[in-house]
Amino acid sequence: MEKKKNILISIVVIAVLAGYLIINSLITKTIVTLPTIKSPITELVLKKGEAVILIKQDGDSWRVNEFDADKNIIANMVNKIKDLRITDLISEKPHYERYELDKDHAIRVQVTCNGQIVRDVYIGKKGSTYRHTYIRLEGDPKVYLAEDTLDSYFNKTIDELRNKDIVQIDISKIDTVKLWYKNATLTLQKIIVEKKKEETGTAQNDKQDKPKEVEKEEQWICKEQPAVTLDNNKVKEMLYTFDPLKAYSFPDVNTKTLTGKIASIAVSVKGDDSQKSEEINLVIHKEYENNRYICTSSKSKYVFTLDEWRAKRIFKTIQDLKK
């Protein structure tokens, strides 16, 4: 009898739970549809804890605080926040810590069009599938789920948002290189020489051939050691440092405190209708953290870092460049 009673209670409990789940699944959740942003976005403000980042349109470009911004990164942010779509209501109660939507963890994104805030969103952690993100809206206590991993777009530092392009040079326009490494200076100059012909065919065929124009080719020579034959490809590989010269980061280092150097290179660029002649330099000052090097250049007023492989392109002696 007692056994039958326990079975009956278990059946009732299971039925109640099943009924609850069925009813809960049939309840239509109210999903917020965000208004369409019709005007161009002119400003974004990112806030996380005490940190505030202002991203503002400046003509065809963007500024992040007082620095030039990476246009591609900002374009991705603008498109993502414009197309933001909420897919589910998660909680009607403000359990913000659970979703990293509390003031210490959430990324607040305020979007402005011509001085008017058109979107004000708090971004939390990724959803369990890593294809969605928990968010909440300013003035709304509910927690929602939105499409995509939004933190990968908006959880950025000023340094990550800055434009890292220092300069880009067409290396075919470089005609002189001044290289300093291991206390030795090399001056490389590009000259035009007659192209060497390969010996093919017979003497009879040579007589029958019509006279041809003399073919020319470029050749790099070293002013200090003219007897050494340089490998053009090795010189070009070194010059590709400038095509493009792209910083990894902008550390908080004062230029005035930098003394000494590991290596330096200065290239002279021929002018044409689109570009004037100029000399551009790059100085590698010292090793930095994470296998990078502290650098300065005549094309940047800021100290920047380069990846090791980029910096070591100019760590060359005459032995490294000869054929």
Do 185 and 298 share a domain, yes or no? yes
For residue 256, how many other CB atoms are within 10 A of its CB? 6
Is omega for the bond preceding 251 within 30 degrees of 0, making it cis?
A: no
Do 123 and 181 share a domain, yes or no? no
pLDDT in tens, the chain (323 residues): 555 555 555 554 454 454 444 434 434 456 778 999 999 999 999 999 999 999 999 999 999 999 999 999 999 999 999 999 999 999 999 999 999 999 999 999 999 998 999 999 999 999 998 899 999 999 999 999 999 999 999 999 999 999 999 999 999 999 999 999 999 999 999 998 888 766 555 545 555 565 667 788 899 999 999 999 999 999 999 999 999 999 999 999 988 889 899 999 999 998 776 667 899 999 999 999 999 999 999 999 999 999 999 999 999 999 999 99
Do 222 and 285 share a domain, yes or no? yes
Domains in the chain, number: 2
The pTM score is 0.81
Are β-strands 61-64 and 51-58 bridged in parallel, bridged antiparallel, or unpaired?
antiparallel
In a domain, 278, yes or no: yes
CB 40 within 8 A of CB 79: no
- CATH number of the structural domain spanning residue 183: 2.60.40
Helix (H, G, I), strand (E, B) or coil at 255: helix
The residue range of the domain holding 169 is 165-194+215-321
Pairwise CA distance, residues 230 & 232, whole Å? 6
Pairwise CA distance, residues 159 & 73, whole Å? 12
- Domain end, chosen from 144, 161, 178, is at 161
